[in-house]
Chains A and B, each alone.
Chain A
Amino acid sequence: MPSNPGSNPGSNSGSIRLQVTRYRPESDSEPRFQEYDVPLRKEWTVLDGLNHVKNEVDTTLSFRWSCRMGICGSCGMNVNGDPKLTCAAFLDDYAPGPIRVEPLANFPVVRDLVVDINDFMEKLPRVKPWIIRDDDALLDGDGEIDGEYLQTPEELDAYKQFSMCINCMLCYAACPVYGLDPEFMGPAAIALAERYDLDSRDHGARERLDVLIEHEGVWGCTFVGECTRVCPNHVDPAGAIQRYKVKAAKENVMAFLLPRGAR
């Protein structure tokens, strides 16, 4: 069909309906849905649709976003029930609609599409996602870091996949274990622990294992695998957790078999 003369280049005719969760804590006892019709443009994402609503239709709608290019991890929401980065979910893929846009599952709702992420922010530092050293080989006489730890491409390759996490928390929204037991450390935190454990420059595996070997650590995971499926950066948190279980199990066997000094 020839394109409609006079329309913007790249635009489609018509519109698509968004069913958006609204929750205003000062007046609502529970969330409800509100419907908005937004232009259905080929290059528009769900986030573009929400921004259209915010700018042109209803300025009271609240949602988080920043980079709109899959880097910042702020705009995660449940789109038709699937945890998605809304900046990477194209309206066209959901045509003819309607598209149901809800706040990320498994997190408390603060307002409209904004969720309370404090739980994740408190869990993250507990797995010590930074490089831990036994020695201070790079410290000069004044206690300043001088130089760099070298790494081969193979050593980089060992952890690179797990370093791609952008903390978007889609994996937490996809995880029924986290939904049922909020004490569970969760996919992203454990994948990040694995990222530093596998880093050849790091010596902190022992310290992290102490946190993750607890029931709320890796053993809480039942390998549903949905975290890996929803991850926008192919981090494979489910794989990281299973590998951690293997490590933890080995640790237990070693502790049982070997005399104290030999571990």
Chain B
Amino acid sequence: MSTPRATEVRVYNRPMSTWWWTRRRTYFVFVMRELSSIFVAWFVGFLLAFVYSVGRSEAAYQDFLDWAATPWVVVINVIAAAFLALHVVTWFSLTPQAMDVRIGGQKAPAAAIIASQYVGLAVVSAFVLWLVTR
């Protein structure tokens, strides 16, 4: 059965600009957060290459250090570190929305969830530091 239309309405569809993400601060932060994933991937690759060279030989380790000290790698790493910090801060602050943590039937306060992640990060970082410097 066809539904009769009372009137034919000519609607106007507003096109969405390619630059929509520059129009609002929150959209911009969102796009930067998404972009930060590329730099996370870069650091994973960097770390794996580092561990691999350590495992191979002392000469390979030295080669890796020389390569890592070249200006363009240093520049990339400084930018990547900034994006990594953004990645951590933004995702940590979003966690309470995604996780419904209940303690004794009560909803855990968002600040407690965020703080516990930073504590976790500090513990893991301290362990890694202890592992490589002992």
Contacts and interface: CB of A to CB of B under 8 A. Distances in A.
Interface centre among A25, A110, A224 (most CB of B within 10 A): A224
Nearest to A115: B11
Contacts of A129: none
Interface residues of B, number: 21
A81 B14 CA distance: 14
Interface stretch (A5-13, A134-142, A238-246): A238-246
Interface in A235-259: 236, 238-239, 242-243, 245-246
A225 B30 contact: yes
A257 B131 CA distance: 35
Interface string A198-226: 00000000000000000000000011111
Given A81-B24, A154-B105, A242-B97, A224 B30 contact: yes
Given A25-B12, A109-B11, A224 B27 contact: yes
A176 interface: yes
Contact of B13 (A108, A222, A223, A238): A108
A52 interface: no
B26 to A, nearest CB: 6
A46 interface: no
A31 B12 contact: yes
Nearest to B16: A179
A116 interface: yes
B20 interface: yes
Given A154-B105, A176-B21, A179-B20, A228 B12 contact: no
Given A176-B27, A179-B20, A225-B30, A116 B98 contact: no
Interface in B23-45: 23-24, 26-27, 30, 34
A23 interface: yes
B26 A224 contact: yes
B12 A225 contact: no
Interface centre among B12, B23, B27, B34 (most CB of A within 10 A): B12
B34 A116 contact: no
Contact of B97 (A23, A176, A226, A236): A236
Interface in A20-57: 23, 25-26, 30-31
Nearest to B17: A179
A29 B27 CA distance: 30
A23 B16 CA distance: 18
Contact of B98 (A23, A109, A180, A242): A242
B11 A81 contact: no
Given A228-B97, A243-B100, A25 B27 contact: no
Interface of B: 9-14, 16, 20-21, 23-24, 26-27, 30, 34, 94, 97-100, 105
18 contacts: A25-B9, A25-B12, A81-B23, A81-B24, A109-B13, A154-B105, A176-B20, A176-B21, A179-B16, A223-B94, A224-B30, A225-B26, A225-B97, A226-B26, A226-B30, A229-B26, A238-B97, A243-B99
Q: Which 6 A-B pairs have the closest CB atoms?
A: A242-B98, A108-B11, A239-B97, A25-B10, A109-B12, A224-B30
